[in-house]
Amino acid sequence: MEKEEVRKQIEENISRFDKKEFSFYFFTMDTKGNPTAAVSTIYQHVKILNELGYNATILHEKNDYTSVGGWLGDEYAKLPHKSIEAQQLQVSPSDFVIIPELFSNVLEQTVNLPCCKIILCQSYDYILEMLAPGKSWSDYGVTTCITTTDKQKEYIDSLFSNRVSTKIIPVGIPDIFKPSEKPKKPIIGIFTRDQRDTVKIFKTFYLKYPHLKWISFRDLRGLPRETFAKSLSELAMLIWIDDISGFGTMPIEAMKSNVPVLGKIPNMVPEWMEDKNGLWTHDINTIPDLTANYIQAWLEDSEPKEVFNEMEKLKDTYSEEKQSQKIKDVYEELITERKNLFTSKLPQETLVNNNELNEEK
Amino acid sequence: MNITVIIPIHKINENEKDYFAKAISSIDKQKLLPKEILLVIPKDENLRKTIESYEYGGNIKDLVNIVENNGETDFCSQINFGVSKVKTELFSVLEMDDEYSIIWFDNVIRYIGHYKDVDAFLPIVLDTNTEGNFLHFTNEAVWAKDFSDTLGMLDNDSLLNFPNFQLSGGVYNKETFESVGGLKPSIKLQFNYEFFLRMTYYDKKIMTIPKLGYRKTNMRPNSLFYDYYHNETKKMLPDEARFWFNTAKKECYFKQDRGIKYEENEIS
């Protein structure tokens, strides 16, 4: 009778897949209202999965989770949310819990959950941050990862010696990132992972090029998404320094807004980065000089046209449509794999039952 | 293009012919040409002959018209006279020793399309010495953070704190220019400043297009400002310079030129 119950449970789980009665839970950090690209990607996954008719929920740790409505918009704030603290979470074997790479520590807490756990890795540099020395994701029962680029996949495959199956869902840049209708302004946008670099760059620029002191630098941190998109589109150029970038969302957003990017080449060269689709350097100390050269050219309408032509080619590469399609494909693949796993257990169970029955005889 | 270029010419000596040639050539090289080029000269047969005998480039040959001003021929009067002869909606002033950059009118048209309520578009001026070496920019300050209420726009409050703006090279709406009274010939040294103060006082919108649109040669011998500093008979002493600066601030409320005169020992 117990074995029959197990069989029944497996069949119930398979049936849940067919009826879309299972859930995706996306563990998400509380941004405290600060715009965070990685979190917006998580919300995008949740939004698309809900649109596809799945139950996808943002899972947060505390009850006093700060809504993302202020910077990401109401459309995202209204997506289903659940709090761990409120003990709202009940997972079944047919459910999926998706955990950002930074929260490897959560893996230990969730090791006994009967569901499928998946790592969502957007920044390769954080993978080892919370993992205990010598420990792998697979030690916590995680054998599947979703990342955003081929290069990150290569890194993950190499790091975990192919014990983790990695799938790719690229970042999608929404159409709110578009060229400004008005002519651009003599303003330089700047984003640096380390804020001291921002200060160092503009101070050097003003010191070496005092006749350009009237050119403003605009720090692009902390702006609500739509304000950020509008602000970005007005710029003459964007300076981007992010050594540990996994994908490089901001430069793509800038290029889609027809704003050329001057950047330091990150440790992991982004897949979209090519010689001529931006102004790239290995040396952060050259950035003030390159900025002055570009601004001088901008003032004379003699910017390198080739950069703009190359940027144009990237415009539609990372569209939300492509991302949505990939989200659909990848999660459906995961569901099928999970369902197949349950299905594969059925005959085994039957076989085991028969053997056991024979032994009893 | 619905713009007339006004070039006020007082005289052209041998040394100045090269400047004039460059100024004219800078119009010829524009991607978009003006509708008319008005050379405003005083009544002077020799000057007329010199101007007429000049070989204007093929693009602009048919655009040049010479108009004689029989009245006062100071810089401001020449401009006002030129404006009165303008048949287009917009006009620009090109000094005969300066140059437009080749991108200027192209940008003016682009910006007019986006800022339809602006009455005057100033270029960023690249100021050089007579050797052609870069000195500084002018008109760029409006793009500095917190300079004015609206980035890129010149307003009255910011002008009161920072007077250094340059009229030449700018593109002005003829009707607006005349509605505020044009330039005031009686204001020495600070006629630019007084004009911009008056424009902004009467809520006219002035914007600097953030592109290098005009190249200005500073302190060319025998030029107006050179004489203020170096010509013994026309030299302006600090007291008088201060007087005109303060006068500009006071006179900007009046549209008409009230014929202000400087008298030594006057307390302004």
Comparing alpha-carbon positions, the chain A residue that sits nearest to B136 is A211
Question: Nearest-5° angle of CA B254, CA B260, CA B263?
Answer: 150
Beta bridge pairs of residue B36: B4
Cα–Cα distance measured from residue A124 to residue B37, given in angstroms and rounded to the nearest whole number: 64
Cα–Cα distance measured from residue A43 to residue B124, given in angstroms and rounded to the nearest whole number: 45
Q: Residues 6 or more apart from B141 whose CB is under 8 A from it?
A: A214, B147, B158, B162, B164, B165
Cα–Cα distance measured from residue A226 to residue A209, given in angstroms and rounded to the nearest whole number: 33
The tokens for A279 are 């102004």
Dihedral, A302, A304, A307, A313 alpha carbons, nearest 10: 60
With an 8 Å Cβ cutoff, is A305 touching chain B?
no
Give residue A354's pLDDT: 43
- Complex-level ipTM: 0.92
What 8-state DSSP symbol labels residue A15? H
Beta bridge pairs of residue A82: A59
Neighbours of A214 (CB within 10 A): 18
Question: Nearest-5° angle of CA A151, CA A154, CA A160?
Answer: 140
Cα–Cα distance measured from residue B153 to residue A168, given in angstroms and rounded to the nearest whole number: 48
With an 8 Å Cβ cutoff, is A211 touching chain B?
yes
Comparing alpha-carbon positions, the chain B residue that sits nearest to A236 is B210
With an 8 Å Cβ cutoff, is B212 touching chain A?
yes
Percent of all residues in chain A with a pLDDT value above 70, rounded to a whole number: 95
The tokens for B156 are 């009255």
Contacts of A216 in chain B (CB under 8 A): 143-145
Is the pLDDT reported for residue A39 higher than 80? yes
CB contact (8 A) between residue A182 and residue B212: no
CB contact (8 A) between residue B134 and residue A182: no
With an 8 Å Cβ cutoff, is B163 touching chain A?
no
N-terminal to C-terminal alpha carbon distance within chain A? 17
With an 8 Å Cβ cutoff, is A185 touching chain B?
yes
Q: Residues 6 or more apart from A116 whose CB is under 8 A from it?
A: A93, A95, A96, A97, A144, A334, A338
- State how far Cα A71 lies from the chain centre: 17
Q: Is A197 helix (H, G, I), strand (E, B) or coil?
A: helix
pLDDT band at A104 (very low <50, low <70, confident <90, very high): confident
Its pTM stands at 0.89
Give residue A360's pLDDT: 41
User: In this structure, what are the phi and psi dihedrals at residue B203, rounded to the nearest 5 degrees?
Assistant: 60, 25
Residue A171 φ/ψ region, left for φ over 0, alpha for ψ in the -120 to 50 degree band, beta for the rest: beta
CB contact (8 A) between residue B124 and residue A299: yes
Is the pLDDT reported for residue A299 higher than 60? yes
Q: Which of B114, B140, B145 sits opposite A183 (nearest CB)?
A: B114
Beta bridge pairs of residue A271: none
Neighbours of B245 (CB within 10 A): 15
Which of B196, B198, B205, B113 is closest to B150 using CA atoms? B205
CB contact (8 A) between residue B151 and residue A213: no
Contacts of A185 in chain B (CB under 8 A): 143, 151-152, 210
With an 8 Å Cβ cutoff, is A213 touching chain B?
yes
Residue A128 near residue A135 (C-beta atoms within 8 A): no
Question: How far away is chain A from the Cα of B115, in angstroms, using its nearest Cα?
Answer: 9
Chunked into runs of 10 residues, chain B (268 residues) has average pLDDT values of: 93 85 94 95 91 87 93 93 97 96 96 97 95 94 95 96 95 97 94 97 98 91 73 80 92 92 66
